[in-house]
Amino acid sequence: MWIQWHVLTTVPLAPRSIEEFRGIVRDEVLDQLVSDARPLAGARVLHVNATAYGGGVAEILSWLVPLKRDLGFEVDWKVVTGTDAFFGVTKAMHNALQGKQHSWTPEEVSTWVEQNRLNTIAWEPYDFVVIHDPQPAPILGLLKESGPVAGHWLWRCHIDLTDAQPEAWDILCPWVEHYDATIWTMPQYVRKGAPTSNLFVVPPAIDPNSPKNTALPEEEVARVYARFGVDRTRPVMLQVSRFDPWKDPLGVIDAYRVARRTHPQLQLVLVGSMADDDPEGWEWLGLVKNHAGEDPGITILSNLDGVGNVEVNAFQRGATVVVQKSVREGFGLVVTEALWKAKPVVGGDTGGITLQVLDGETGYLVKTVRECGERVAELLDDEGLRDRMGQAGREHVREHFLLTRYLGDYVRMMRHLAGMPLGAS
């Protein structure tokens, strides 16, 4: 089997300052974060994942890395590169780890492992290495084949493994066992055989100052809606997510049709991102368009239509109700983003959504298409309810899901691995 030669690619990022967040979080939180990071100043840190854009992991790293640099770390973010066959295998593994059945072949496993081997060429030593998700997971084990490997290694799982296919986990687990620590979004995701020492449970968070989350003037929101032909005078139901079966975009369209029975002026906007590590996305985009048919009330957009972070921000701020009808969801940053903008969220009763949507308080958790449509209709009927849930959601995010908490978690994990417990200097 011929495999193309590839190496890790560095992602360039503009500098950021932790001081940007004064006034958003309490001063003492920022001061403590800076103090906790000080003993690790100068440590070399590497984050590795599968794509520089599209999806929550890339979004998190786009702000996490520059803010770690501002705290005194020397941080790189690198992306694995590989063939179409490699990304086809890793997408199959991602789906299988979320419960989809797949018949694995030795050739697929070999493609996954050997492409990772090529990404270890000319490896540089780091004090801390964080490997994100299954795509690059074999890197540490492959490096160990040549002898001891420097630094502290953490494997970060962003996926909901509650119903993981056993065969897929059996393929992945031996590579995970090499790591010094593992990081999970929820304890329910941890599978049997995962290392039990240095096991951390750390939900993700959002950057409130990113282009996707910063405050926008009403004029900008109106401009974006007009640009894409969405009527601001009519109610809008919005879902922002990749086009894949786990986000259930077809179910969202069906739920919209349920809600429209009592709210005929309702519009649906589906905004997705076509990522280079997701070959299945094109197929699902076609399925979504076919399912929508010629309905003039449905607008389907992606980054290929010029929808970037600012446009997503505007769509979220202008929406009447935000939906995230996932059937599997590791966390769901788009839920956090909508709650931060004081929008009630109707979300699938699954995974990390349940950490954010407090049923009846910050939105509703739903299991079926009919329930989703009826909850949307209920919110459309009651502006006061929308406002109360929206404000409760914003405060829930402020307390639990802003980047300062997430940065602090990383600092604490690194200090623990380096033998510098909090209080040491």
Whole-number Å distance between alpha carbons of 77 and 8: 10
Confidence of residue 157 (pLDDT cuts 50, 70, 90): very high
Q: Which pLDDT value is given to residue 273?
A: 80
Taking each helix axis from N to C terminus, what angle separates 383-400 and 369-381, rounded to the nearest 10 degrees? 110
Q: Which pLDDT value is given to residue 329?
A: 93
Residue 424 lies in a domain: no
Residues 51 and 142 in one domain: yes
Q: How many CB atoms lie within 10 A of CB 16?
A: 20
pLDDT digits (tens, 9 = 90+) for 190-203: 999 999 999 999 99
Residue 32 lies in a domain: yes
Residue 1, pLDDT > 70, answer: no
Q: Which amino acid is at 294?
A: E
Mean pLDDT, residues 2-9 taken together: 62
Contact criterion met (CB below 8 Å) for 393 and 339: yes
Element containing residue 130 per DSSP (H, E): strand 128-132
pLDDT digits (tens, 9 = 90+) for 254-281: 999 999 999 999 999 999 987 655 667 7
Count of domains forming the chain: 2
Burial (0-12, 13-18, 19+ Cβ within 10 Å), 349: middle
Whole-number Å distance between alpha carbons of 284 and 287: 5
Residues 127 and 34 in one domain: yes
Residues 340 and 383 in one domain: yes
Mean pLDDT, residues 65-69 taken together: 97
Residues 246 and 348 in one domain: yes
Q: How confident is the prediction for the chain on average, in pLDDT?
A: 94
Residue 1 lies in a domain: no
Q: By percentage, how much of the chain surpasses pLDDT 70?
A: 97
pLDDT digits (tens, 9 = 90+) for 401-410: 999 999 999 9
Q: Which pLDDT value is given to residue 138?
A: 98
Contact criterion met (CB below 8 Å) for 213 and 313: yes
Residue 423 lies in a domain: no
Mean pLDDT, residues 295-315 taken together: 95
Residue 371, pLDDT > 60, answer: yes
Mean pLDDT, residues 375-395 taken together: 98
Residue 50 lies in a domain: yes
3-state class (DSSP) for residue 347: strand
pLDDT digits (tens, 9 = 90+) for 202-231: 999 999 999 999 999 999 999 999 999 999
Q: Which pLDDT value is given to residue 292?
A: 97
Whole-number Å distance between alpha carbons of 181 and 202: 12
pLDDT digits (tens, 9 = 90+) for 72-116: 999 999 999 899 999 999 999 999 999 999 999 999 999 999 999
Confidence of residue 4 (pLDDT cuts 50, 70, 90): very low
In which order are the strands placed within the sheet that holds 267-272? Answer: 298-302, 267-272, 236-240, 321-324, 345-348, 363-366
Residues 149 and 262 in one domain: no
Residue 209 lies in a domain: no
Residue 179 lies in a domain: yes
Q: How many CB atoms lie within 10 A of CB 121?
A: 10
pLDDT digits (tens, 9 = 90+) for 16-61: 999 999 999 889 999 999 999 999 999 999 999 999 987 789 989 9
Q: Which pLDDT value is given to residue 424?
A: 45
Q: Which pLDDT value is given to residue 122?
A: 87
Q: Backbone dihedral region of 72: left (phi > 0), alpha (psi from -120 to 50 degrees) or beta?
A: left
Q: By percentage, how much of the chain surpasses pLDDT 90?
A: 89
Residues 271 and 172 in one domain: no
Positive/negative CA dihedral, 309, 312, 316, 322: negative
Residues 48 and 187 in one domain: yes
Q: Which pLDDT value is given to residue 3?
A: 44
Residues 157 and 102 in one domain: yes
CA angle 54, 60, 65 (to 5 degrees): 120
Q: Which domain range does residue 111 map to?
A: 9-203+403-417
Note the pTM of the prediction, 2 decimals: 0.87
Residues 261 and 129 in one domain: no
Q: Phi, psi at residue 403, to the nearest 5°? A: -60, -30
Residues 329 and 395 in one domain: yes
Q: Which pLDDT value is given to residue 274?
A: 74
DSSP per-residue letters across 244-279 = SGGG-HHHHHHHHHHHHTT-TT-EEEEEE---TT-T
Minimum mean pLDDT range among 164-173, 272-281, 391-400: 272-281
Residue 12, pLDDT > 80, answer: yes
Tokens for 257?
């049709």
Residues 145 and 69 in one domain: yes
- The CATH number assigned to the domain holding 115 equals 3.40.50.2000
Residues 396 and 333 in one domain: yes
